[in-house]
Amino acid sequence: MPAKYLEAEVRREAGVAVIELRGEIDAFAEEALAAAYEEAEAENPETVLLDFEGVDYINSTGIALIVGLLAKARAAKKRLVACNLSAHYVEIFNITRLSDFMGVYPDRVSALSEASTP
């Protein structure tokens, strides 16, 4: 099956920078993720939300890329949260213990509502 490269689009909603992810998060996703994160950070939001609705493949290199984003966000004193993870990816976030450090929300509405709570 041909690889589906990651597409990442940045939107602004309720003061939160939302990165909509579509495709596969693996070693080839590094550039797209880094560029999207940089764009998201440009307006200095307090929270960056990763929306995984369009993601259908993550390998361990992909999880390491997300850890890298989390480290960047924490260094810049920003919150990095996630939404729309399938049950499978929620389990991956639990196994890798990413969920200890990242808020994980079932959908974008709940993530945005939580992010706007002081």
Partner 1 sequence: MTERTPQPEQKEPRDAAYWARYAETLKVSGVAEGATNINVEGRRAVGPLQGFGKMWQKTYRVRLGGVAVSPAEVIQTWKDNYKDFWPEGNVFYAPLAGITPGEVALISGSLPGGVKLSTGVMVLYADEESFTLMTPQGHPFSGWITFSSFEEDGATIAQAQVLMRANDPLYEVGLRMGGHKMEDEMWQETLRNLAAHFGAREPVETNLVCVDPKLQWRHYRNVWHNAGIRSALHMVTAPLRWRSARKRR
Binding stretches for partner 1 (CB under 8 A): 1, 27, 56-61, 63-64, 67-68, 70-71, 74-75, 86, 88-89, 91-92, 94-98, 100-101
Q: Which is nearer to partner 1, 64 or 109 (CB)?
A: 64
Phi, psi of 85 (to 5 degrees): -80, 140
Closest contact distance (angstroms) between CB of 54 and partner 1 is 13
Closest contact distance (angstroms) between CB of 4 and partner 1 is 10
Closest contact distance (angstroms) between CB of 61 and partner 1 is 6
Question: From the centroid of its chain, how far is CA 27?
Answer: 15
* Residue among 87, 86, 81 nearest 111 (CA): 81
Q: How many CA atoms lie within 13 A of 67 on its CB side?
A: 14
